[in-house]
């Protein structure tokens, strides 16, 4: 007979103190996971070590090089200028009258003294005739008064008349002399007014668009006048100069150096015309720290047009015999401006330099580099101090430092545009 519910046995049929199978498997799973993690770490370390060995064995970077040579470098000041005529004259009539004729076309080149317009001359011709008639009348009265004065003086010597009558006649003669003088002045005024009816060009230049039509009644107070004439040759260009350059420019201009100035096109590529520095303004603009300057140009070919914008390049001085390198050799980075100098063992050395003004293809090195040094001009991206390089035509060989590590070499090319003289000063 079976006895139900034996002591020490649970309903599932397990005895007290026996370990369940699930609990026995947990430590085994944990150990397997730890082992797998260790294997992955080992594989990763091996992978990165392999990559590092491959990196150290890369071929040397291919570069182009150039020489640092001594040359003369001009120091220019560049600015944006505005063409300004020497004379801009608004032609107005000097007396009131009706416009009779016009003797020019819009945009025509006119000469100084050329008649541009004709005001109705008839009223002024009549005024001149009247002035001449007044003069003739007063001259006749003066002649009669002088004859009478002579007679009175004869009678006075004969004691036939009173001296007061002679004095009165003498005063009458003097009055008529003054009247005749006034008549002559009136004739001069009438003649001048008659000449003013022919409106003439005050300067040689280009006439603008006419502001009046034939038949208009003109007065000297008309705001727009008849036409505007601008002198084109010579012509000026105004531009602004930093106040720091005043002393250098003033010294050169005062020494009679001439300071040549070029007017260039909008892209500053082609020269339009050449001129010379003229003068400064008499004060500095406190809002911008600049002073206005003016240069004068011969403009016989009408290359410059009033109010045109041009790029101005003014030669301040020339640096003689300074060390220069190709523009592409100068880099910018954490050390500042620097170049990579090629060493005898085909490695490069990072050399900080102080740069100066530049031309289209070379830049001046004021300090830090000796003439004759070989510098890297192309392929410097990714180089660092001590990196191995190879020159054009050489076969690639593994370099001890590689050619593409990170470091100071992550710089930028120096700008190839012309540098102003203030850059040369630091």
d(CA 260, CA 297): 10
Q: Out of 5-14, 247-256, 264-273, 370-379, give the one with best mean pLDDT.
A: 370-379
Mean pLDDT of all residues belonging to the chain: 82
Cα 302–Cα 306–Cα 307 angle in degrees, nearest 5: 140
44 in a structural domain: no
Question: 255 lies in which domain range?
Answer: 78-86+233-316
Q: Are residues 349 and 292 in the same domain?
A: no
With bands split at pLDDT 50, 70 and 90, how would you rate the model's confidence at 237? very high
Q: Are residues 287 and 262 in the same domain?
A: yes
pLDDT digits (tens, 9 = 90+) for 178-189: 999 999 999 999
- Residue 173: its pLDDT value, please? 94
- Residue 83: its pLDDT value, please? 94
Q: Give buried/exposed letters for 61-94 (b at 16+ CB in 10 A, else e).
A: bebebbebeeeebbbbbbbebebbbbeebebbbe
250 in a structural domain: yes
270 in a structural domain: yes
- The answer to whether the beta carbons of residues 67 and 205 sit under 8 Å apart is no
Whether the predicted pLDDT of 259 surpasses 60 = yes
CATH for 154: 1.10.287.470
Output phi, psi for 398, to 5 deg.
-60, 140
- Residue 235: its pLDDT value, please? 94
Q: Are residues 208 and 132 in the same domain?
A: yes
Domain count for the chain, please give it: 3
102 in a structural domain: yes
Q: Output the six-digit token pair for 53.
A: 């060995």
Q: How many CA atoms lie within 13 A of 117 on its CB side?
A: 29
- Residue 396: its pLDDT value, please? 54
What would the mean pLDDT of 265-275 be, rounded to a whole number? 85
Q: Which of 316, 339, 356 is the last residue of a domain?
A: 316
Q: Are residues 116 and 167 in the same domain?
A: yes
Q: Are residues 349 and 417 in the same domain?
A: yes
Which is it for strands 61-62 and 389-390: parallel, antiparallel or unpaired?
Answer: parallel
**CA 236 vs CA 80, 239, 280: distances in Å:** 13, 10, 13
- Residue 387: its pLDDT value, please? 86
pLDDT above 90 as % of the chain: 41
Q: Which of 203-212, 253-262, 381-390 has the lowest mean pLDDT?
A: 253-262
Whether the predicted pLDDT of 6 surpasses 50 = no
Q: Are residues 337 and 250 in the same domain?
A: no
d(CA 135, CA 180): 6
What would the mean pLDDT of 81-93 be, rounded to a whole number? 93
- Residue 248: its pLDDT value, please? 73
Q: Are residues 201 and 292 in the same domain?
A: no
CATH for 255: 2.40.30.170
CATH for 401: 2.40.420.20
53 in a structural domain: no
Q: Which of 187, 203, 229 is the last residue of a domain?
A: 229
Q: Are residues 172 and 247 in the same domain?
A: no
Whether the predicted pLDDT of 353 surpasses 70 = yes
Whether the predicted pLDDT of 195 surpasses 80 = yes
Q: Which of 286, 301, 316 is the last residue of a domain?
A: 316
Whether the predicted pLDDT of 13 surpasses 80 = no
Q: Are residues 361 and 260 in the same domain?
A: no
pTM value is 0.60
Q: Token pair 């001259």 is at which residue? A: 139
Q: Are residues 106 and 208 in the same domain?
A: yes
DSSP track, 69-100:
EEEEEEEEEEEEEEEEES-EEEE--SS-EEEE
Q: Are residues 108 and 222 in the same domain?
A: yes
286 in a structural domain: yes
pLDDT digits (tens, 9 = 90+) for 29-59: 787 788 878 878 777 666 554 454 444 555 6
110 in a structural domain: yes
pLDDT digits (tens, 9 = 90+) for 113-161: 999 999 999 999 999 999 999 999 999 999 999 999 999 899 988 888 8
Q: Are residues 267 and 342 in the same domain?
A: no
6 in a structural domain: no
């Amino acid at each position: 007979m079976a006895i139900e519910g034996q002591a020490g046995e649970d309903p599932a049929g397990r005895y007290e103190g026996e370990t369940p199978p699930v609990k026995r498997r947990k430590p085994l799973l944990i150990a397997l996971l730890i082992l797998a993690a260790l294997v992955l770490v080992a594989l990763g370390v091996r992978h990165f070590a392999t990559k590092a060995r491959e990196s150290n064995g890369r071929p040397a970077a291919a570069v182009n090089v150039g020489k640092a040579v001594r040359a003369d470098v001009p120091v220019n000041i560049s600015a944006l200028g505005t063409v300004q005529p020497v004379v801009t004259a608004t032609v107005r009539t000097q007396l009131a009258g009706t416009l009779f004729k016009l003797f020019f076309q819009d945009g025509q080149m006119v000469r100084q003294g050329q008649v541009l317009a004709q005001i109705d001359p008839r009223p002024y011709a009549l005024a001149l005739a009247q002035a001449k008639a007044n003069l003739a009348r007063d001259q006749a009265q003066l002649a009669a008064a002088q004859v009478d004065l002579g007679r009175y003086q004869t009678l006075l010597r004969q004691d036939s008349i009173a001296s007061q009558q002679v004095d009165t006649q003498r005063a009458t003669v003097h009055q008529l002399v003054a009247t005749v003088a006034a008549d002559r002045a009136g004739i001069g005024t009438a003649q001048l007014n008659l000449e003013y009816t022919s409106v003439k060009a005050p300067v040689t230049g280009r006439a603008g668009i006419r502001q009046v039509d034939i038949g208009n009644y003109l007065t000297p107070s008309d705001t727009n006048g008849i036409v505007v004439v601008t002198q084109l040759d010579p012509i000026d260009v105004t531009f602004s100069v930093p106040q720091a350059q005043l002393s250098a420019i003033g010294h050169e201009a005062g020494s009679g150096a001439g300071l040549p100035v070029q007017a260039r096109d909008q892209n500053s590529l082609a020269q339009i015309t050449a001129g010379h520095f003229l003068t400064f303004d008499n004060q500095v603009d406190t809002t911008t720290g600049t002073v206005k300057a003016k240069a004068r140009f011969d403009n016989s070919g009408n290359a410059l047009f009033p109010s045109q914008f041009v790029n101005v390049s003014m030669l301040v001085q020339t640096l003689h015999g300074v060390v220069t390198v190709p523009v592409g050799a100068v880099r910018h980075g954490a050390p500042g401006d620097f170049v990579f100098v090629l060493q005898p063992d085909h490695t490069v050395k990072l050399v900080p330099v102080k740069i100066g003004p530049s031309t289209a293809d070379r830049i001046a090195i004021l300090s830090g580099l000796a003439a004759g040094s070989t510098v890297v001009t192309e392929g410097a991206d990714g180089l660092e101090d001590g990196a191995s390089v190879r020159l054009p035509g050489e076969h690639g060989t593994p370099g001890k430092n590689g050619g593409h590590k990170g470091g100071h070499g992550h710089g930028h090319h120096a700008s190839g545009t012309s540098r102003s003289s203030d850059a040369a000063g630091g």
